[in-house]
A = this chain, B = another copy of it.
Amino acid sequence: MKLEAVIPPLVTPLDTTGELDRRSLERLITRQLAAGADGVFVGGSSGEVALLDTAQRRDLVRTTVAVVGGAVPVLAGAVDTGTRRVVEQARQAAELGADAVVVTAPFYVQPHPDEVLAHFRQVHAAVDVPVIAYDIPSAVGTALAPDLIAALAESETVVALKDSSGDLAKFREVLRRTDLPAFSGSELFADTAVGLGAAGIVPGLGNVDPHGYVRLYRAARAGDIATARAEQDRLAGLFRIVSVADRGRIGFTAGALGAFKAAMALLGIIDCAAVNPPLSPLSADEIRSIAEILVAHGLEPVTAA
């Protein structure tokens, strides 16, 4: 398995009854592969991982593995609070055919870094597929420090890092100190990350504009900084869709994930913008604002806002 380039963290399409919408998922994956994605990551933060029940998660991985058909690696989130729970999820994902599992630090509990290290080691020892470390302090409250990441790399406990910390100084330290393939989860400095040696990018906004991030990645990889930066600037404008929601009525997560799905529904990539409970849906006005942002950035809605 070769992990590199553009690996979008797929949203989990739902139908109007709230169940997994397999046809939309299939369409989404097909479009991603056609656009040039080099892998897919299901059950990450953009995929509402914290809100999926066991059946949805199983259905999601199974369907994804089937649709992808081995064309690219399938990464599956095994995101949970404690080691035994992560092992449970990771084994299930591996049995369903995922090629690797993506694992965060424990949360709800307050661990010492040595306990975080033990967590990754025990997950690694218990599952038959490679483990990817997922650094997302905004969700789990614990950052993976460079020393910890270096220890994970040296012991071959993990095969890659997905960095959603927003902390470029740390990302560079990991690149400098280890050979671990490091993926940036940033929508907003993906070109910088690739220019600095990132193995690839995992941008949530790639659900909405896969071609944009593929162009960005290829330009940055080729050393064409100006092209990569122009693409990045355009995508940063597009990313404003995550800020249209009225935060007096709806939380940060619903505002961001709902915007991805609303944009994708407008673009015909998925059928329905529904999100899992308890997230609130966007309003009609907010969806209209999203449609305007799409148009302003060269993406043409196929359905009315």
Give bound CA distance, A300 to B201, whole Å: 41
* Residue ranges of A at the interface with B (Cβ–Cβ < 8 Å): 45, 48-54, 56, 79, 81-85, 87-88, 106-112, 114-116, 118-119, 122, 138-141, 166-169, 172-173, 176, 186, 188-189, 192, 195-196, 225, 229, 233, 236, 247-254, 276-280
Copies of the chain in the assembly: 4
Residues of the B chain whose Cβ atoms lie less than 8 Å from the Cβ of A236: 172-173, 176
The contact of A250 among B115, B122, B139, B253, by CB within 8 Å, is: B115
A118 & B251 in contact (Cβ 8 Å cutoff): no
B50 & A279 in contact (Cβ 8 Å cutoff): no
Residues of the B chain whose Cβ atoms lie less than 8 Å from the Cβ of A51: 81-85, 106, 109
Residues of the B chain whose Cβ atoms lie less than 8 Å from the Cβ of A139: 108-109
A172 & B196 in contact (Cβ 8 Å cutoff): no
A249 & B114 in contact (Cβ 8 Å cutoff): yes
A112 & B192 in contact (Cβ 8 Å cutoff): no
A169-B189, A278-B122 in contact; A251/B109 too (CB < 8 A)? yes
Residues of the B chain whose Cβ atoms lie less than 8 Å from the Cβ of A250: 112, 114-115
User: Closest CB of chain B to A273's CB: distance in Å?
Assistant: 16
A118-B280, A168-B192, A176-B236 in contact; A251/B110 too (CB < 8 A)? yes
- Can you list 22 A-B pairs, Cβ within 8 angstroms, ordered by A? A48-B82, A50-B107, A51-B106, A52-B84, A53-B87, A54-B85, A82-B277, A107-B108, A109-B139, A112-B250, A112-B254, A115-B251, A115-B254, A116-B278, A118-B277, A166-B168, A168-B168, A168-B188, A172-B189, A172-B236, A176-B233, A248-B248
